[in-house]
Chains A and B, each alone.
Chain A
Amino acid sequence: MTGARVTAAVPKATSEATSEATPKATAISHAPGVAFILKKALISALVALVLFSLMIGVRTEAGPTGQLTYWTRFDDLAIIVGAVFGGSIVVELLRQWWGPVGTIRVVPSSVQRSLAVARRAIAPVLLIFTFLVPVIFYDQRYILDLGILVLTYVMLGWGLNVVVGLAGLLDLGYVAFYAVGAYSYALLATNFGLSFWICLPLAGILAALWGVMLGFPVLRLRGDYLAIVTLAFGEIIRLVIINWQSLTGGPNGVSGIPRPTLFGIPLTPGDDGLAAKLGIEFSPTHRIVFLFYLILALALLTNWVTIRLRRLPIGRAWEALREDEVACRALGINITTTKLTAFATGAMFGGFAGAFFATRQGFISPESFTFQESALVLAIVVLGGMGSQLGVALAALAMIGGFELFRGFEQYRMLVFGLAMVLLMIWRPRGLIGHRAPTVFLQHSQAISSDLVKEGHG
């Protein structure tokens, strides 16, 4: 029935479009008529009907005896197909309303100036606000925990930014270094009783070592191949952690990881605790606040080191490598050391973050180090504009905050995350804050086809 309607609509649509276009061609030359929109929506709905017919329309489940049973959900199917039909019409109308995109809109210089001021102000304001968060929200444990989580991802994002954003090496296995750092601290602390402050640099060094070990074999690879090898590397680390039960505890993980101390002074209610030494009443919030400032300090260290490194020859070499590897080699830049330092530096920060994660949780298991984590950190870097420190921080805030909105609907979280990633790539492939800001502004709008702007294959 629906199929017949579509075939009937096709000649009608074309004839209407031509009869409409010929008399007033100048007025609505690029605006297709109602019939076109309806036809498009109908096709979308039909595609959706076929796609979802079995997957949504029929629900299977293993019964108590192991026998598979199924029941139908045609009402859900109808709702979704209807939504696709309506959504397709809305999208098409919006597209016409906005008109063809593709020309650069020239922003008035006054607006640009004020935007530049705002942009310069946002980083200090954000930093001061972050410092004040434990003071303002002292009683709200939930916000403090969320703040620690966001800062952890800011740090991971800044760490991965060195590899992906600066050196242009697409790393899909970053979570491996996070895992190495976390397990280094957990195992060293539980087996040898080493303190957090000794283990933190050790975790960083071990992770950097693994970064070099990954970096060496993949020196010659580029682009997609590099991405898939790093992905395989991340999975190998996770599988080894799961299966090497005698060392890592396997899927059960490591528990009883010691909490951090303030340079030897534990944050406990006992007599030698920090509260007793300072002569104030003990509160469990002290530890949370301490953790907050600890991760803030680590994140700022990452940021500071990255900013400094960018001014050094090695940082310049990373950025040159990102733009064009062949030209780099021709100019005498040592590709091997450049790539390896990028991997090692990024991995080291991942290791620091991992050690912090372990001490904060007190328990780690391989489940925390899946590919989804890598993809999340990568999405933060890409959303932040690949190379922009502020952008990464804002992206981490947006992403983790967005995840919190889905607290009640865990199963839809990754679905929406994936969809957001696709849409982001289509609309803003350069991220929210593009790093390669133009130094010369055009006075006139000028359309440049993307075909003419070819990217170097780094």
Chain B
Amino acid sequence: MDYFAQQLINGIVLGSIYGLIAIGYTMVYGIVGMINFAHGDIFMIGGFIALISFLILVSIGLTVVPVILLIVLLVSMAITALYGWTVERIAYRPLRHSFRLAPMLSAIGMSFVLTNYSQVAQGARVKPVPPIITGGYTLADQNGFVVRLSNAQIIVVITTIVLLAIFTWLVAKTRLGRDMRACEQDQTMAALLGVDVDRTISMTFVIGAALAAVAGMMYLLYYGLVDFFMGFVAGIKAFTAAVLGGIGSLPGAMLGGLAIGLIETLWSAYFSVEYKDVAAFSILIIVLIFLPTGLLGRPEVEKV
């Protein structure tokens, strides 16, 4: 039971990270109707930028942990958001009216570019960092088995909840959110009614990338390492989460992220660690076959 509780905590933390990435997928798919294949690599870039800015801040003598975390968060969000904007501007916008497969292939190309760019720029070896946030709480201690909730885990979950709240407000209440929902329904009509479609789509990518940067930073805090290849698998899993939750739905993305995180952790704990990625990918296939609209998605009507 204690073992299960511990795995539950771990799964929720991992799921929060997947959920943050999944929001980027689900928003872009909702508006542009394409899988932003490079989104996983944006997450990886976010992790790298968090790592580098953290190193610089520590080396110039800053020691107050909350201040460091805040600055790292803002810096990585800002720079990664610019990456998201640039990727959209270079690789997707010229293809807005091209044939169906073009944006997908361009996105795959962009994913290779980002992966290998960070390999060339920062080297191929895994970059470890010493634990930034230490300490935690012991929830239960029975028969020598300890259920622990670390401060890093608390911070990951709280940050996710706060960001999700801000973001839900952004989509529901602000002008930008209304524009986004309008573009999602009908781009041509939205443009006729005075919505700047290009700008709205750009902003979608910017927000998605900023959230991916937060996920990258949380990953760094929680696992204490980044490497240039982590975007690929994390990206597919986050996409699975987005599909599982129902693509286009924000709470769905978060729900799907939690589900994938829990399934992966429990699978590793009770079955086999080696096949945890196989489990996640199989879920993607199973969900798409039996539940193509996801948990909270709307059914898509096929039009001729």
Contacts and interface: CB of A to CB of B under 8 A. Distances in A.
B105 A229 contact: no
B108 to A, nearest CB: 6
A68 B115 contact: no
A233 B130 CA distance: 36
Contact of A243 (B83, B118, B275, B281): B275
Interface in B227-250: 232, 236, 239-240, 243
- Which secondary structure dominates where chain A touches chain B? helix
Interface string B109-138: 111111111111111111111100000000
Given A227-B104, A426-B106, A221 B281 contact: no
A262 interface: no
B122 A55 contact: yes
B102 interface: yes
A429 B55 contact: no
Contact of B108 (A56, A59, A375, A451): A375
Given A51-B83, A55-B121, A68 B98 contact: no
A411 B117 CA distance: 9
Contact of B117 (A54, A58, A415, A426): A415
A159 B59 CA distance: 55
A120 B115 CA distance: 41
B288 A58 contact: no
A60 B91 contact: no
A75 interface: no
B20 interface: no
A224 B34 contact: yes
A236 B120 contact: no
A457 B108 contact: no
Contacts of B275: 239, 243
Interface in A371-430: 371-372, 375, 378-379, 382, 411-412, 414-415, 417-422, 424-426, 429-430
Interface stretch (B44-52, B142-150, B153-161, B258-266): B44-52
A422 B91 contact: yes
Contacts of B64: none
A371 B111 CA distance: 12
B127 A421 contact: no
Of B100, B111, B275, which is in contact with the most chain A CB atoms at under 10 Å from its CB? B100
A240 interface: yes
A419 B79 contact: no
Contacts of A414: 112, 115-116
Contact of B52 (A58, A227, A232, A240): A58
Given A66-B128, A235-B236, A371-B232, A425 B35 contact: no
Given A227-B104, A429-B98, A47 B86 contact: yes
Interface residues of A, number: 66
Nearest to B286: A217
Contact of B120 (A233, A326, A412, A417): A412
Interface string A194-234: 00000000000000000000000110110111011101110
B298 to A, nearest CB: 15
Given A382-B101, A455-B100, A225 B288 contact: yes
A263 interface: no
B53 A54 contact: yes
A421 B105 contact: yes
Contacts of B112: 372, 375, 414-415, 417-418, 421
B216 to A, nearest CB: 13
Contacts of A67: 130
Given A47-B86, A55-B52, A62-B127, A421 B106 contact: yes
A418 B281 contact: no
B186 interface: no
A187 B103 CA distance: 39
Interface residues of B, number: 71
Contacts of A142: none
Given A51-B82, A60-B55, A414-B116, A425 B95 contact: yes
A425 B285 contact: no
A372 B126 CA distance: 21
Contacts of B175: none
B269 interface: no
Contacts of A371: 232
A198 B95 CA distance: 47
A424 B116 CA distance: 19
B106 A425 contact: yes
B292 A418 contact: no
B119 A411 contact: yes
A61 B285 contact: no
A27 interface: no
A51 B78 CA distance: 10
A225 B293 CA distance: 11
Given A221-B292, A232-B284, A60 B127 contact: yes
A233 B284 CA distance: 10
A70 interface: yes
B94 A426 contact: yes
B285 A233 contact: yes
Contacts of A243: 274-275, 278
Given A68-B129, A170-B104, A229-B284, A422 B56 contact: no
Contacts of B121: 52, 55-56, 59
A420 B99 contact: no
Contacts of A47: 82, 86
B81 to A, nearest CB: 10
A280 interface: no
Contacts of B83: 51
A303 interface: no
A54 B90 contact: no
Contacts of B292: 220-221, 225
Contacts of A217: 285, 289
A235 B277 CA distance: 9
B118 A224 contact: no
A225 B34 CA distance: 10
16 contacts: A55-B117, A55-B118, A58-B56, A61-B123, A67-B130, A68-B129, A223-B100, A228-B284, A229-B284, A229-B285, A243-B275, A411-B124, A418-B113, A422-B109, A425-B98, A450-B97
Interface of B: 34-35, 45, 48-49, 51-53, 55-56, 59, 75, 79, 82-83, 86, 90-91, 94-95, 97-106, 108-130, 232, 236, 239-240, 243, 274-275, 277-278, 281-282, 284-285, 288-289, 292, 302, 304
Q: 7 closest pairs, A vs B, by CB?
A: A421-B109, A418-B112, A418-B113, A232-B281, A415-B116, A425-B106, A422-B109
